[in-house]
Amino acid sequence: MVHLRTGEERPVAIPDVCPNCGKAIDKSQERWRCVQGRKCYALASIAYAAGRDQLDIEGLAKSRIQQMLDTGLIADLGDLFSLVHEQIIGLDRMGDSSTTKLLAAIEAAKSQPLSRVFRALGVRGTGRSMPRDTAPRRSAS
């Protein structure tokens, strides 16, 4: 491949900080990671999991997830499922009926088929059909 070089090549700039959140990079191991670990991608991963094709949690907008992360109500997806009414209604711009609706949507997400849970967790290779094959719905037989 060396023969493909044109002389225009520039050195690859190695980032000093995490390109996603700007925090430091943990270089103690071969594979570098953001010092925040999974927290770095918490917003993106929770928003994805709550999406319509995954757990379909209606009323859980990205801004709401960010608010929950900022206030320490949740740190990961699992924390959503132990939230109670008083915690959610304590959030800014959250009313009684929207709290009740959101809790119902979170509750409903608990009975999503296992294939959607796999997808929500971002298990590699789990598109729309693979999880269905891996975790088929129980048949009546």
**Residues in contact with Zn ion by the rule CB under 5 A:** 18, 20-21, 34, 36, 40
What's the closest the beta carbon of residue 24 comes to Zn ion, in angstroms?
A: 9
Task: Give 26 or 56: the residue with its C-beta nearer to Zn ion.
Answer: 26
Residue type present at position 37: G
By C-beta, is 40 or 106 nearer to Zn ion? 40
Nearest distance in Å: CB 28, Zn ion: 15
Counting other chains too, the contacts that 108-115 makes at CB distance below 8 Å and 24 or more residues apart are 108/56, 108/57, 109/50, 109/55, 109/56, 109/57, 109/81, 110/81, 112/54, 112/55, 112/56, 113/137
Least distance from C-beta 41 to Zn ion, angstroms? 8
DSSP, collapsed to helix, strand or coil, labels residue 114 as: helix
**Based on CB atoms, which residue is closest to Zn ion, 25 or 91?**
25
Min dist CB 15 to Zn ion, Å, is: 10
Measured from the CB atom, the residue of 27 and 128 that comes closer to Zn ion is 27
CA distance linking residue 75 with residue 93, whole number of Å:
21
